[in-house]
């Protein structure tokens, strides 16, 4: 249960009993405002609807600004509580669970009532501990994931609803789920407190719905409106336990303002790691105390994701010797979006993005995220369309590096539709053929659209809710995603734990990684070039080997051909050992046949396509 070890710190704290029986209960309250005014505990009877009972704090209960009172023989069943200072009602800022109300309520702090904690049986729960190189991440909003009527779950928009989709998540190759904020927050907009969050801020004065939750919240409690039951804390734990039983990791996003005390941040992360068995945290905010966080002994089994790590923060290994820190930022997104739509001068940057595997850190790469276009919209809109936000389309990012494939928005033009689907397949290939950890935003695997809205921070409706009918409608691209995740999983050289070397370090006659242009072994990274080949040799990917144990004829090779030009292009193919020939393993272009044998040492690749060749057996 909730331990004093990680409960202490600034703010209001509660250490109580298991719900359902009478016992002594201890309340802690920090009087941060109205100092000197009378303050106390407000107890509510949830079942009988009785008026609250006021238990005043006395001077004997006070030490500095902190009041501590033990309430004897308190029946916590059906009971909730708040604090009061003078005439003002204050919720417990460290409440562990709040009374569930419909989404959009409560609208103000004075309506938040905390309930008492309850014991939970984790049933020998264990963390999956998936290495970064084996991860495929899926970013989701708990409510938006299943709120749509087409989701088919029994509890739409809830923790339980997300758990009902575990089989689906497993079927698409996901190993780890990253949740947008699931801590308690009010569904009203709060001005962002950092430069990082300013891009998400609306430019109008009228407060709007805060659908995402990137603001200061009640960090010790799961969001009550994300529960279908009366016990949000229990339902959230059941979801996490079910994810773990299926081998799926749970990573939580936490946004902290720059003025958040370092001790508070540590207390929050310790709490969720210990009480909720969370596998990792993606921390969002400027100036966070990452050196303290990365070296905290209670968090050494948790993965930590942040936009940058300073050298002094890189305590990169857990006790088991695995990486546990990962860089997560938009660098990959911008370079690879430009290359996807055919911009010139991108080859050097893109090759670096595709092959980057930091020695001491993990790295998460993605083309889309909660903030920005969905993948379908990325290939369907050249301009943002945020009119539904009521801000004259002035909010959101103006630099999307998107391309509508010839026409803006929904079209009946089959040529445009076909090109869009091909570009989505190309995007999948980018993500799953890149060496670091791929992450996809929910619904991108089956073409979900937000109608061109690239900043739906205030949209709790069908703009942000996944339309699950698209699973059938866009089956071809969902199948493509599944095939590529399987292909990645079955070819470890595509996701090495360490960087592949561009030298023949194994004396096998081939480097682990090599780049090719029109001619084999000769890369062309000129400004106008939009095509290149990348060969991977399994020799440098065999872990723990000091010498080759098989002949060259048994080495495994992959050749990744990228052509983002609007015209077909030729690429040189390195000669394979013995009588082996290159064969087509996969292509995003439907005219290229799987299994095709390429007899020559070059091949013409279709426009706007990604093709993977594998070394076939000797002929």
Domain 134-330+356-370+437-490 CATH assignment equals 3.20.20.80 = yes
105: confidence class by pLDDT, cuts 50, 70, 90: confident
Average pLDDT over residues 495-521: 91
The residue whose two tokens read 């600034």 is 10
Considering the chain, tell me which residue range(s) the CATH 3.20.20.80 domain(s) occupy. 134-330+356-370+437-490
pTM, full prediction = 0.92
Contact 483, 412 (CB under 8 A): no
> Is the predicted pLDDT of residue 546 greater than 50, yes or no?
no
d(CA 351, CA 308) in angstroms, rounded, equals 21
3-class DSSP assignment, residue 252: strand
Average pLDDT over residues 481-490: 98
Contact 220, 14 (CB under 8 A): no
> What whole-number percentage of the chain has pLDDT above 90?
76
Considering the chain, tell me which residue range(s) the CATH 2.60.40.1180 domain(s) occupy. 497-618
Q: Taking the CA atoms of 28, 33, 34 and 36 in sequence, report the sign of the dihedral they define.
A: positive
Backbone φ and ψ of 337, nearest 5°? -65, -40
Contact 477, 483 (CB under 8 A): no
Contact 534, 573 (CB under 8 A): no
209: confidence class by pLDDT, cuts 50, 70, 90: confident
User: What is the per-residue pLDDT across 222-254, written as a single tens digit (0 to 9) for each?
Assistant: 999 999 999 999 999 999 999 999 999 999 999
Pick the CATH number of 4-115 from 1.10.357.10, 3.90.79.10, 1.10.3720.10, 2.60.40.10: 2.60.40.10
544: confidence class by pLDDT, cuts 50, 70, 90: very low
> Is the predicted pLDDT of residue 74 greater than 90, yes or no?
no
Tokens of 176: 């780890």
Among candidates 258, 271, 263, 180, which has minimal Cα distance to 219?
271
Considering the chain, tell me which residue range(s) the CATH 2.60.40.10 domain(s) occupy. 4-115
Contact 439, 367 (CB under 8 A): no
Domain 497-618 CATH assignment equals 3.40.30.10 = no
d(CA 615, CA 466) in angstroms, rounded, equals 40
């Amino acid at each position: 249960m909730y331990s004093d070890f990680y409960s202490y710190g600034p703010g209001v704290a509660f250490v109580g009993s298991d719900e359902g029986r009478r016992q002594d209960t201890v309340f802690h309250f920090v009087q941060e405002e109205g100092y000197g005014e009378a303050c106390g505990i407000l107890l509510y009877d949830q079942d009988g609807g009785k008026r609250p009972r006021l238990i005043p704090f006395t001077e004997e209960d006070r030490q500095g600004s902190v009041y501590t009172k033990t309430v004897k023989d308190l029946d916590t069943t059906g009971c909730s509580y708040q604090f009061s200072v003078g005439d003002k009602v204050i919720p417990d800022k460290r409440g562990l669970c709040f009374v569930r109300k419909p989404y959009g309520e409560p609208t103000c702090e004075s309506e938040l009532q905390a309930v008492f904690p309850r014991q939970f049986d984790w049933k020998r729960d264990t963390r999956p501990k998936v290495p970064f190189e084996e991860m495929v991440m899926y970013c989701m909003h708990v409510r938006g994931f299943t709120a749509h009527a087409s989701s088919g779950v029994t509890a739409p928009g809830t923790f339980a609803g997300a758990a009902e989709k575990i089989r689906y998540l497993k079927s698409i190759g996901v190993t780890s789920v990253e949740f947008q904020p699931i801590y308690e927050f009010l569904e009203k907009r709060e001005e962002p407190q950092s430069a990082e969050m300013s891009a998400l801020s609306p430019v109008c004065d009228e407060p709007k719905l805060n659908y995402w939750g990137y603001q200061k919240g009640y960090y010790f409690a799961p969001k009550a409106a994300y529960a279908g039951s009366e016990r949000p804390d229990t339902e959230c734990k059941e979801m996490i336990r079910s994810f773990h039983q299926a081998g799926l990791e749970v990573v939580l996003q936490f946004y902290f303002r720059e003025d958040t005390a370092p001790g508070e941040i540590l207390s929050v992360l310790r709490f969720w790691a210990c009480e909720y068995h969370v596998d990792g945290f993606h921390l969002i905010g400027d100036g966070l105390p990452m050196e303290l966080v990365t070296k905290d002994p209670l968090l050494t089994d948790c993965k930590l994701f942040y936009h940058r790590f300073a050298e002094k923060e890189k305590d990169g290994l857990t006790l088991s010797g695995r990486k546990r820190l990962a860089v997560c930022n938009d660098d990959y997104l911008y370079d690879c979006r430009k290359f996807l739509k055919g911009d010139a001068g991108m080859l050097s940057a893109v090759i670096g993005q595709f092959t980057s595997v930091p020695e001491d850190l993990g790295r998460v790469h993605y083309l889309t995220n909660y903030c920005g276009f969905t993948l379908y919209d990325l290939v369907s809109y050249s301009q943002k369309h945020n009119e539904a936000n009521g801000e004259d389309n002035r909010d959101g990012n103006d630099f999307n590096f998107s391309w509508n494939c010839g026409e803006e928005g929904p079209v009946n033009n089959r040529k445009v539709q076909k090109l869009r689907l091909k570009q989505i397949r190309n995007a999948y290939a980018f993500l799953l053929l890149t060496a670091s950890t791929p992450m996809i935003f929910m619904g991108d695997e089956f073409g979900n659209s937000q109608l061109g809205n690239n900043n739906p921070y205030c949209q709790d409706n069908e703009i942000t809710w996944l339309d699950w009918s698209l699973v059938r409608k866009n089956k071809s691209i969902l199948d493509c995603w599944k095939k590529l995740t399987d292909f990645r999983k079955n070819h470890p050289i595509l996701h090495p734990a360490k960087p592949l070397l561009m030298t023949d370090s194994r004396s096998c006659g081939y480097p682990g990684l090599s780049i090719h242009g029109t001619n084999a072994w000769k890369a062309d990274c000129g400004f106008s070039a939009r095509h290149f080949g990348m060969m991977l040799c399994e020799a440098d990917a065999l872990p723990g080997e000091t010498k080759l144990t098989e002949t060259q004829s048994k080495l495994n090779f992959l050749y990744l051909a990228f052509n983002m030009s609007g015209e077909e292009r030729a690429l040189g193919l390195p000669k394979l050992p013995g009588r082996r020939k290159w064969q087509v393993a996969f292509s995003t272009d439907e005219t290229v046949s799987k299994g095709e044998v390429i007899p020559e040492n070059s091949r013409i690749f279709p426009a706007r396509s990604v093709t993977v060749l594998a070394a076939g057996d000797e002929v």
